[in-house]
Amino acid sequence: MPEPKSAFDATYPCDFYEPEELFESDQMYTVPEIGRLLQGLEPDAEVDPDTEAVLVDWAVPWVMAHAEDMVIAEPLTEDGPGYYGVATDEDPSAASDAGADADADGADTDESA
């Protein structure tokens, strides 16, 4: 149920990290690890299941809001989690996306062939 702002002692700006601030550029993270990072914890910090559920609830919309600045990798095992990381110029997908954008604009295409 909604509560009036006056019910709270204080409110704070809703200011979250950008992916390049949160992630090491050469690492990939699971959603629970991202949730920990968003709270200033180490990715492997021990948290109780109830806390982890809240962290995941916060991490999922953050991942969705920053999807254009991130890359995703398939799970390492069939039943494992997906992994997310910050997109860099070295990522093959970033290069192919840039090429697709250029093709869509009609630039960088060789029509003489």
Confidence of residue 90 (pLDDT cuts 50, 70, 90): confident
Tokens of 51: 């806390």
For residues 33 and 65, what is the distance between their CA atoms, to the nearest angstrom? 17
Number of helices (H), then strands (E), in the chain? 4, 2
Which tens digits make up the pLDDT trace of 10-65?
A: 998 877 889 999 999 999 999 999 999 999 999 999 999 999 999 999 999 999 99
For residues 10 and 5, what is the distance between their CA atoms, to the nearest angstrom? 8
Query: pTM (2 decimals)?
Result: 0.71
For residues 38 and 47, what is the distance between their CA atoms, to the nearest angstrom? 14
What region does 15 belong to: left with phi over 0, alpha with psi -120 to 50, or beta? beta
Tokens of 100: 């697709």
For position 13, what pLDDT does the model report?
84
For position 89, what pLDDT does the model report?
85
